[in-house]
Structure 1
């Protein structure tokens, strides 16, 4: 194994993420970031879990199918990722190896091998996890917004994410110029497929925003990220891992005082909760689909099919005026031995 072979792998990664995806494929920043995250996780797994030195990682490292399947198992068992997330990570790795195979045909067999790894089954009828209003209030009350600067940031982040129902990747990509603070406040977010949408905001959210500005954006720069971290003296985009950590922390605190807080709260749950609350409040599904930025309107139907509470109330409302007397509740076979025998196959 040579140093050149190792550097070749990382050179492929650089060209794939900085040239091929943005210039040749014209893919969105969020899609590129998702692929970057997947490759970083794969490298972390190889170096930390398999103890392969970074300088020894090369394309041929992944010709052993057990490394990729082990990586997927690690995502499931150690990082608690769902099957849809695992499938998405696998797709990113396949796309990267497909690119390498086009660049050098000698690696085509590695890409072909990855195609033999099956996608994990995703339960399309899985119940949507969302928070009740009480659980949401409990979590939002946990950050210390008075004496802790990051507590203010975390509170505003969660409030804005719920209010806008934006995806976590969309939240992290918001820049100062995307926030319009006037009598009818709103934000611009860049969704999937580079589709930009406008989202109106509540005035209560903007009250937190103005306080947040004083602490984090005393000097206005339209190109600054709304949420950032300081790295080597420069403002850098905040990572999704950072968001997941503080949300998990506040959820654990909130669970001690509100039993309705789910055992596992993740960023996407704020989006789902907002969508479900809006649907229950009467927002039509087509409008909800546009609000959420769903490319396929049928995706929004999951909120209608998952809401058993609304179904129960609709059934109660439809039957409340029916004149059901006690006589109708008496079984037809009561005191009829002949019918009872027939029902149980005894005759």
Structure 2
């Protein structure tokens, strides 16, 4: 095995430990979070090596000063059209590593202090959340023909997704054992592998019984609830398939209900249920738990949207009464930088 020459200040040693020990074990970061961090550092290391005209294996803490990191963020914002949110997330990822390194080796705190002076970008006002009216949801759920096998599947999927306000990935991860029709509950596995248990209605439980009789006549607890058959074997359904049949049924529902939006996607069912629960009086704190949001601030989009709806209604009522890029650099998203220099495995 070839020995990698480490930077003189131990930069890659700390970066390897951050990826292999701190993020997955101490912080318990989700796989998607770690992947995002790897992408950030691959892009940053490539930029630093190019900017300072050194081999990427010779990058040190000294080269990652405030001017260089700021230059990287601005370069990516211009050439890759990073939004303020993406810019701030990448900056937070970089700072997180420097905070870890400073805690492990206090003499490195000077580099963390240098990066602390980089200001985050101001994020624009939150756009109103796109959701459907109750009439539009009703029309969408009634669009499939439950007398056919695929119609039964599509209808139950959308009914359950709406009832739970679940994410697409959470729905596709469901197993037969996750739905308890006696207790009227469903167990979901959310982001960061965080479980939560939600109630379902008796009507939804009845739909499940009819669905299971066709798709799970001899149920096995670990079997995926929603699947497609490939090579004569059931495999977990893909999110592309879900997006496709929801678009198809939305097109059918539009003929019955003009309130159905032109573009309906799976997440819109989650947004719609969340908005309807909020409008029905569910407190934001409870809605946060229901949706599995790690940050309560995320749930405020529904309060904001509801306020805007009321504002537009007021404006309409008042009006009625007063009427007379550049190409990506070659090193963008190249996993080999981190893997080669930090000894990481896929």
| TM-score (normalizing by structure 2) | 0.60
Please give the per-residue CA displacement for 1:270-309, whole angstroms capped at 9, x wherever unaligned: 0110011011111111111111111011111111111137
Aligned to 2:263, the other structure's residue is in SS state coil
Pairwise CA RMSD: 3.7
CA distance in 2, matches of 1:239, 1:178: 19
The answer to whether the 8 A contact 2:164-2:200 is kept is yes
> How far 1:311 sits from its partner (Å)?
4.0
> How far 1:157 sits from its partner (Å)?
0.4
Q: Report the equivalent of 2:172.
A: 172
The answer to whether the 8 A contact 1:94-1:114 is kept is no
CA distance in 1, matches of 2:226, 2:302: 29
The answer to whether the 8 A contact 2:44-2:72 is kept is no
Please give the per-residue CA displacement for 1:71-115, whole angstroms capped at 9, x wherever unaligned: xxxxxxxxxxxxxxxxxxxx47825947998xx95698xxx9986
Give the gaps of 5 or more residues in structure 2.
1-18, 47-54, 60-68, 86-123, 316-321, 323-346
Task: Map 1:85-96 to 2 at 5 A.
Answer: 91=36, 94=39
Q: Report the equivalent of 1:186.
A: 185
The answer to whether the 8 A contact 2:187-2:195 is kept is yes
Counterparts in 2 of 1:157 and 1:124: CA distance versus 1, 3 Å: farther
CA distance in 2, matches of 1:96, 1:153: 42
> How far 1:230 sits from its partner (Å)?
1.2
Aligned length: 238
Q: 1:117 aligns with which of 72, 76, 97?
A: 76
Q: Report the equivalent of 2:267.
A: 268
Aligned to 2:198, the other structure's residue is in SS state strand
Give the gaps of 5 or more residues in structure 1.
1-18, 36-90, 317-328, 330-347
Aligned to 2:214, the other structure's residue is in SS state helix
CA distance in 2, matches of 1:193, 1:24: 11
The answer to whether the 8 A contact 2:24-2:30 is kept is no
Q: Higher relative contact order at CA 8 Å, sep ≥6: structure 1 or structure 2? A: 2
CA distance in 1, matches of 2:43, 2:264: 35
The answer to whether the 8 A contact 2:133-2:272 is kept is yes
CA distance in 2, matches of 1:284, 1:134: 23
Counterparts in 2 of 1:313 and 1:96: CA distance versus 1, 3 Å: closer
Larger Rg, first or second structure (1 or 2): 1
